[in-house]
Amino acid sequence: MNNEIIACFPQWANYSHAFRYLFENGFDVKYMTPPPITKKTLELGSKNSPDYVCTPFKYCLGCYLEALSSGANCLMQIFGACRLNYYGELAEQILKDMGYKFHFFNMANVKWTSPKSIMENLRVVNPNASLFKIVKALPTTIAIIETIDEFDDFVRHNVGFEVNEGDFDRTYKEFNEKLDEVNSMRQFKKLKKEYAKKFKAIPINKPQKTIKVGMVGDYYTVQEPFSNYFMEKELAKMGMEVFRDMNLTNTIIHNQWKKRRKVAKRYAKYNIGATANFTIAEALNFAKQGMDGVIQVKCFGCTPELDAMPILQNVSKDYQIPILHFSFDSQTSETGVKTRLEAFYDMVEARRKDNNLEKEKAI
């Protein structure tokens, strides 16, 4: 039997490139970039998941199954403030009962106050891992994540207005491919500089006043484009500028939870759980910035986001801003999503015209 460790973290936005760096340069193991999510991934996941567990669990399970069948033998899961905390253990149990053999690095198992527990759990990935090496790899991993988020933001703001269709996509893909060849901070800085220039050089035709839409939602669905039916792309195609604050940089690297909770305080006295207060604060910020609309995407059954919905409805009333809610499960129709988005666009555009007319009248 081959003893080489091949680690894999479920597909989640574009962060696999950063994780690859961490695992290959820090843990000294091979990293498998998870196969891109397809409908089959979701089908595979749903088939083996409990019925009404939230959809990200199904995506993760599908992803594990695909990764296992293409050779990965060390899987992992993070922890969180909601059902996410239990993802790891249940997925491990389901997969082991299916007969798979693998290591599982479950971060919910770690007692973060005890260095011994941290070391023990890190060694699940690689028994010979050196803490020094892992810590040394962290700054570059963080820099990669920050850059991915930075570029993502730039793309969201501009891709709808590119002159030659596909310019942004092509450059972005190139950047991702080159990221997988990076093995040091120096190489990374060079790459970042190169592509920051390339992105800025893409010709765009952006009007001074664009239609601005903010995206909010649960941690997975808002970040993983497949799970929200590539909504950001669809919105951009209609010529909108998309805003979104929820990413790794704003939540884990530069922790903003407390700040957001303060913003949301007027509507939510307490912590509602997981991303709900963040979502409310973001929607509020978007409303205050005078955006044309907000879209909330969530997976079916996401309790915290569900509890945020009545509050978002109040925000919508108070600030006169349309908020569209999407709840995705494993059987959402793509056409249905598109139709609703089109209707949303028409409404937002009509409102903007009305507002302009009123302004002209006032003058």
Partner 1 sequence: MKIGIPRALLYYKNEKLWTTFFSELGIEYLISPQTNKEIVANGANLAIDETCLPTKILLGHIDYLKDKCDYVFLPRVARVNGCGMCTKFLAQVDLVKNTFRDDNLNYLFYNQEKDKKKSEYKAFLKMGKFLNLKPKDIKAAYLKARAVQDSFNKQRQEAQEKIFKETKKNKVLVVAHAYNVGDQFVGQPIIRALKELDCEPIIAEYFDEKECIKASYNLTKTLPWAYNRHLVGAVELYKDKVDGIVILTTFPCGPDSMVNEMILHKVKNLPILLLTMDAQDATAGIETRLESYVDIINFKKERANE
**Binding residues for partner 1, per CB under 8 A?**
49-54, 57, 79, 81-83, 85-86, 88-90, 93-94, 97, 106, 108-109, 267-274, 276, 300-301, 303-304, 306-307, 309-311, 313-314, 327
Amino acid at 342: E
Question: Minimum Å distance from CB 295 to partner 1?
Answer: 16
Q: Which is nearer to partner 1, 85 or 171 (CB)?
A: 85
Minimum CB separation from partner 1 for residue 358, in Å?
27
- Asked whether the beta carbons of 200 and 301 are under 8 A apart, the reply is no
Residue 90 or 253: the one with the smaller Cβ distance to partner 1 is: 90
User: CB of residue 309 vs partner 1: minimum separation in angstroms?
Assistant: 5
Minimum distance, C-beta of residue 289 to partner 1, in the bound complex (Å): 22
Q: Which residues pair with 327 in a beta bridge?
A: 298
Q: Which is nearer to partner 1, 171 or 303 (CB)?
A: 303
Q: Which is nearer to partner 1, 13 or 82 (CB)?
A: 82
Which amino acid, 207?
A: P
> Which residue number, 148 or 312, has a Cβ lying nearer to partner 1?
312
Q: Which of 280, 289, 297 is nearest to 332 (CA)?
A: 297
DSSP secondary-structure letter at 302?
A: -
- Min dist CB 111 to partner 1, Å, is 11
Nearest of 204, 145, 201, 116 to residue 14 by alpha carbon: 145
> Which residue, 160 or 304, has its beta carbon nearer to partner 1?
304
User: Which secondary structure element, helix H or strand E, spans residue 208, and what is its range?
Assistant: none
Can you point out the beta strands (E) in 229-272?
240-243
Distances, alpha carbon 168 to alpha carbons 157, 174, 192, 205, 219, in Å? 11, 10, 15, 13, 25
For residue 26, give the amino acid letter: G
Closest separation in Å from C-beta 19 to partner 1: 21
